[in-house]
Amino acid sequence: MSRIKHTKTELKAQMDALKRFQRFLPMLQLKKQQLQMEIAAITARLDAVRAREEQARSALDAWSRLFADADAGLDGLVVLERVVTSAGNIAGVPIPVYAGVNVLRKPLDLFETPPWLDDAQDAVERILALRAEAAVLERQRERVAAELLTTSQRVNLFEKVNIPECRDNIRVIRIFLGDEQTAAVARGKIAKRRSPASGTAGEEAA
């Protein structure tokens, strides 16, 4: 516990700090809950995208047998040039939002390449797009998780350190000031009994 002054000014400062912590704590708790919900939602979207990618990869396996029988391959068929994102925001956290991909498709000679190669290109492009979307969702989750960690630490600090410390400081200061007031009253009574005026009054009464 930090050293405090046992004064009325310090008592007011501690009471103001306590009110401030108690006012902000519910906001932090609400933000923590919101971030937890957002992480769960991002994870659900990420699982769905990964499931779609797995389905697309399974469908692509059918093309692999054709690649083995023909003079064709996946190399260079589709090249990912850029992942397009926009700026988003979740509970005050800036995040990237997936907007698509720019790809370079290898030109196909309609007379020299098998007709199914067009479909294979489409399948590869879908896989690249889903993989890029999953990567963006991963970045979203990382950023929101980092903010959740910071918010959780602040909630714990308010709940377990700041608020209990302020309450204890207020209790200690009030006890000290109460003792001081009691002592002052006692000193006043003693001083009054010892004062010359009190002595004279007592003699006259006798």
Tell me the two tokens of residue 140. Answer: 């979203």
Residue 162 lies in a domain: no
In a domain, 126, yes or no: yes
Position 192 pLDDT exceeds 60? yes
Supply the CATH number for residue 81's domain: 1.10.287.3240
**What six digits make up the tokens of 156?**
């714990």
The pLDDT tens digits of the residues spanning 155-190 come to 999 999 999 999 999 999 999 988 777 776 666 677
Alpha-carbon distances of 56 from 51, 62, 82, 106, 126, rounded to whole Å: 9, 10, 20, 20, 7
- Counted residue by residue, the chain has a size of 206
pLDDT tens digits along 86-142: 999 988 899 999 999 999 988 876 666 666 677 778 888 999 999 999 999 999 999
Residue 93 placed within a domain: yes
**Reduced 3-state DSSP string for 35-98:** HHHHHHHHHHHHHHHHHHHHHHHHHHHHHHHHHHHCCCCCCCCEEEEEEEEEEEEECCEEEEEE
User: Domain for residue 7, yes or no?
Assistant: no
Q: What is the pLDDT of residues 131-157, one digit of tens each?
A: 999 999 999 999 999 999 999 999 999
Range of the domain at 102: 29-144
Locate 137 and state its tokens.
Answer: 């969702």
**Among 144, 140, 148, residue whose Cα is nearest residue 46:** 140
Q: Per the structure, how many domains does the chain have? A: 1
pTM: 0.76
Residue type, 33: Q
Question: Percentage of the chain surpassing pLDDT 90?
Answer: 58
